[in-house]
């Protein structure tokens, strides 16, 4: 029987198998940031264990950084201390750091792919659940806890039972106005937030084959929202062309050798998956969430379902919505375009293309937060900054920002925010804030109209 | 890591599904650089009003419930990979969490901190909730050695799964770092063969 893409990458990284126990998996690249690494550094220090492979670690500051005046010292003392601790730890151990002020600084899952650090066939981890993003390259990439960050520091390995495999196939052609974000929100709404638990997903079919690398990253990014540790897409010419020439990608003959290997990675035709799902591209529409987990999603023109249960009702009560009602027409005062899900240049092109020549509605606060310094520079090169500013949007500096509201970018209690981020949990964007997840196009349209509109009527 | 010993105690019920790690410990409390103090902010926005006063109807604030076992609805610990969620629960005083389903990353983090995730059937979970509703002092026994959970008032039992390697770690208070550091030679050999 043939092997899946996941099998091929996993099996080639198994160092050792414990009888009746987990396997020892070798990790090629370890990404770290300021929030989930300090306790791992101090644990190793307390135990007198050195960092095993510092040259396979790359660090950046993203979760906790301000998105204004980044050249000044961070105002919040705890945040400043956390970022400073990261810098000190990296300097002490000889770890590459793209810290605040560096030309490559950015959200860890935007920075590593655009620099060519992420490559097909690798194993990658980070103390962040959206590490699944890198699966877009045919990489086994997943989030880990801080104890595991310490394990990788100590040994460049992790002890893990091999997950089961799942394939999600979407064939056909997406309708106009349907973006990669809608595809993944649709899949999660269909499968629920726990369907993927214990699995690694592979996304297959026409829709993903036709998608750009940035779109694939948006899809793989949210794999964790259906419970899957990671999601992968088979590497192909689109992948190779994206990686080619990037700062840390192999060059010349080395690159061609790698491509020859990467071409062997896609799942064999006779490979078997533990679970298979099939969807039609034509059934997917622009999506919105109405509840407090990413599985609570509907098509923009649909009504909130009539479900029973205390958890469902608690969720609607938090959101201030009723069963059976539509979201169209709901006034919205906050719009956030950013996060590791949707803060790459294509996302801002989509938004700017819609916004150009229009104005944001007077009631709306619209925040644009690029995923990295490179994306921020590209926004200026393409003149998108002028489009945003002329339309009354606020363009900030790179970071995780209002996705998790660790810095000052918070949504006030009770307010709705159409957000291109990945989680609509209670209080995620600030205490009492109500998050509605959507694509950059839906977010841009909401900002212009000041309320939720059925974007499909504009095509 | 502390060794896990048998528990025989009352439990705190939290019959809500899909409890995510943002609820267990909100992001604004993740700015510390050590592992201490997270227990104070466990379930912060469910336990306290915005003005800092206790919400009396939340089970953790209800004095009739007590004990180091948390019994929670399906799909506990989904969302962010923050190990701070496990630190918040152990810091608060929990030693085990019972649910009908756990998210992967949370489960791993819990095991790495001596917090035992006990996965039971939906029917058994329902039985625990209803017994606690009848009598908040109902004792629950969790025996790691035999991998059995018992509702002592009714004698109702169910066995639970745990990876044998992880079980040994919990019983002895070992963690994965000890194991991996001892494997250094094998890892170095693997690196050489991988690069050739």
Cβ atoms of A196 and A228 closer than 8 Å: yes
Angstrom distance (rounded) from CA B107 to CA B101: 10
Count Cα neighbours of A322 within 13 Å in the Cβ-side half-sphere.
4
pLDDT for the residue numbered A305? 98
DSSP A285: -
pLDDT above 90 as % of chain B: 93
- Own/partner pairs for A206-210, CB < 8 Å, 24+ apart? A206/A170, A206/A171, A206/A172, A206/A173, A206/A281, A207/A170, A207/A171, A207/A172, A207/A173, A207/A174, A207/A183, A207/A281, A208/A170, A208/A233, A209/A236, A210/A173
Q: Give the pair of three-digit tokens for residue A266.
A: 């896609």
Chain B residues 66-125 with a CB less than 8 Å from chain A: 73-75, 78-84, 86, 101-105, 108-109, 112-113
Question: In this complex, is the C-beta atom of B187 within 8 Å of any C-beta atom belonging to chain A?
Answer: yes
pLDDT for the residue numbered B1? 81
Helices (H) and strands (E) in chain B, counts: 8, 8
Report residue B176's pLDDT band, with 50, 70 and 90 as the boundaries: very high
Instruction: State the Rg of chain B over Cα.
Output: 18
Break chain A into its structural domains and give their ranges: 1-285, 289-458
pLDDT for the residue numbered B50? 87
Angstrom distance (rounded) from CA B43 to CA A358: 43
Distance of CA B50 to the CA centre of its chain: 26
pLDDT for the residue numbered A19? 87
Domain A1-285 matches domain A289-458 at the CATH topology level:
yes
Question: Among partner residues B27, B181, B191, which is closest to A404 by beta-carbon distance?
Answer: B27
Question: In this complex, is the C-beta atom of A82 within 8 Å of any C-beta atom belonging to chain B?
Answer: yes
Question: Among partner residues B15, B45, B84, which is closest to A426 by beta-carbon distance?
Answer: B45
Which residues of A are less than 8 Å from B186 in CB distance?
Answer: 15-16, 24
pLDDT for the residue numbered A105? 98
Q: How many CB atoms lie within 10 A of CB A302?
A: 16
At A435, give phi and psi (nearest 5°). -100, 135
The domain made up of A1-285 has a fold known as Aconitase; domain 3 (3.30.499)
Point out the residues of chain A with pLDDT beneath 50. none
Question: In this complex, is the C-beta atom of B36 within 8 Å of any C-beta atom belonging to chain A?
Answer: no
Which residues of B are less than 8 Å from A431 in CB distance?
Answer: 26, 45, 50
Q: What is the pLDDT of residues B79-126, one digit of tens each?
A: 999 999 999 999 999 999 999 999 999 999 999 999 999 999 999 999
Identify the residue among B23, B80, B111 best suited for mutation to test binding to A, counting A beta carbons within 10 A and taking the highest. Answer: B80
Pairing of strands B96-99, A29-32: unpaired
Residue A13 to residues A9, A16, A366: CA-CA distances in angstroms? 7, 9, 44
pLDDT for the residue numbered B196? 74
User: Largest Cα–Cα distance of chain B, in whole Å?
Assistant: 65
pLDDT for the residue numbered B5? 84
Cβ atoms of A97 and A90 closer than 8 Å: yes
DSSP three-state, residue A384: helix
Cβ atoms of B132 and B159 closer than 8 Å: no
Contacts of B90 (CB under 8 A, 6+ apart): B39, B113, B114, B115
Domain A289-458 is classified in which CATH homologous superfamily?
Answer: Aconitase, domain 3 (3.30.499.10)
Q: What is the pLDDT of residues B14-68, one digit of tens each?
A: 999 999 999 999 999 999 999 999 999 999 999 999 889 999 999 999 999 999 9
Question: Among partner residues B105, B163, B181, which is closest to A155 by beta-carbon distance?
Answer: B181
**Hey, are the CB atoms on B175 and A147 less than 8 Å from each other?**
yes
Q: What is the pLDDT of residues A390-435, one digit of tens each?
A: 999 999 999 999 999 999 999 999 999 999 999 999 999 999 999 9
pLDDT above 70 as % of chain B: 100
Using the Cα atoms of residue B8, residue B9, residue B10 and residue B12 in order, give the sign of their dihedral.
negative
Count Cα neighbours of A279 within 13 Å in the Cβ-side half-sphere.
23
Using the Cα atoms of residue B52, residue B55, residue B56 and residue B61 in order, give the sign of their dihedral.
negative
């Amino acid at each position: 029987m043939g092997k899946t893409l996941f099998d091929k990458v996993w099996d080639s990284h198994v160092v050792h198998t414990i009888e009746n126990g987990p396997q020892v998996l070798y990790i090629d690249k370890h990404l770290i940031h300021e929030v989930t690494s300090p306790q791992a550094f101090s644990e190793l220090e307390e135990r007198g264990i050195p960092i095993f492979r510092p040259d396979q670690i790359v660090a950046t500051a993203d979760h906790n950084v301000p998105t204004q005046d980044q050249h000044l010292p961070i105002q919040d003392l705890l945040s400043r201390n956390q970022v400073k601790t990261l810098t000190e730890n990296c300097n002490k151990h000889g770890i590459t750091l793209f810290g605040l002020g560096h030309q490559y600084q950015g959200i860890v899952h935007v920075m590593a792919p655009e620099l060519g650090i992420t490559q097909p066939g690798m194993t990658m981890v980070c103390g962040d659940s959206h590490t699944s993003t890198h699966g877009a390259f045919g990489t086994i990439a997943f989030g880990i806890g801080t104890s595991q960050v310490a394990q990788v520091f100590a040994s460049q390995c992790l002890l893990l039972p091999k997950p089961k495999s799942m394939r999600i196939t979407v064939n056909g052609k997406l309708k106009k106005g349907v973006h990669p974000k809608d595809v993944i929100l649709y899949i999660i709404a269909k499968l629920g937030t726990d369907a993927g638990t214990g699995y690694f997903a592979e996304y297959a079919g026409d829709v993903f084959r036709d998608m750009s690398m940035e779109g694939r990253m948006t899809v793989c990014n949210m794999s964790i929202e259906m419970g899957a540790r990671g999601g992968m897409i088979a590497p192909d010419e689109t992948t190779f062309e994206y990686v080619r020439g990037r700062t840390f990608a192999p060059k010349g003959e080395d690159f061609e050798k790698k491509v020859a290997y990467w071409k062997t990675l896609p799942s064999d035709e006779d490979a078997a998956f533990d679970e298979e799902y099939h969807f039609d591209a034509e059934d997917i529409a622009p999506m919105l969430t109405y509840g407090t987990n990413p599985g609570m999603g509907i098509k923009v023109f649909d009504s909130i379902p009539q479900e029973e249960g205390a958890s469902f009702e608690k969720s609607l009560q938090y959101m201030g919505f009723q069963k059976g009602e539509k979201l169209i027409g709901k006034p919205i005062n906050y719009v956030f375009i950013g996060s590791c899900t949707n803060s790459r240049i294509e996302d801002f092109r989509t938004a700017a293309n819609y916004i150009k020549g229009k104005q944001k509605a007077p009631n709306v606060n619209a925040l644009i937060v690029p995923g990295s310094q490179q994306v921020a520079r590209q926004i200026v090169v393409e003149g998108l900054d002028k489009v945003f500013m002329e339309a009354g949007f606020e363009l900030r500096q790179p970071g995780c920002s209002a996705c998790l509201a660790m810095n000052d970018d918070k949504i006030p209690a009770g307010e709705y925010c159409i957000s291109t981020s990945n989680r609509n949990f209670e209080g995620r964007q600030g205490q009492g804030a109500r998050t509605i997840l959507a694509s950059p196009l839906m977010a841009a349209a909401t900002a212009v109209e000041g309320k939720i509109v059925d974007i499909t009527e504009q095509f | 890591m502390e060794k896990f010993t048998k528990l025989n105690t009352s439990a705190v019920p939290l019959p809500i599904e899909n409890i995510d790690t943002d609820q267990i410990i909100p992001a604004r409390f993740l700015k510390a650089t050590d592992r201490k103090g997270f227990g104070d902010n466990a379930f912060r926005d469910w336990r306290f009003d915005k003005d800092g006063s206790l919400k009396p109807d939340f089970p953790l604030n209800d004095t009739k419930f007590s004990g180091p076992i948390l019994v929670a609805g399906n799909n506990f610990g989904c969302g962010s990979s923050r190990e701070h969620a496990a630190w918040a629960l152990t810091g608060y005083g929990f030693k085990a969490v019972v649910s009908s389903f756990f998210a992967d990353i949370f489960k791993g983090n819990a095991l790495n901190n001596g917090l035992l995730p006990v996965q039971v059937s939906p029917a058994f979970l329902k039985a625990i909730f209803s017994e606690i509703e009848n009598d908040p002092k109902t004792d629950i026994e969790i025996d790691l050695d035999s991998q059995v959970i018992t509702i002592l008032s009714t004698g109702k039992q169910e066995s639970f799964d745990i990876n044998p390697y992880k079980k040994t770690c919990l019983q002895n208070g070992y963690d994965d770092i000890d194991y991996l550091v001892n494997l250094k030679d094998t890892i170095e050999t693997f690196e050489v063969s991988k690069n050739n």
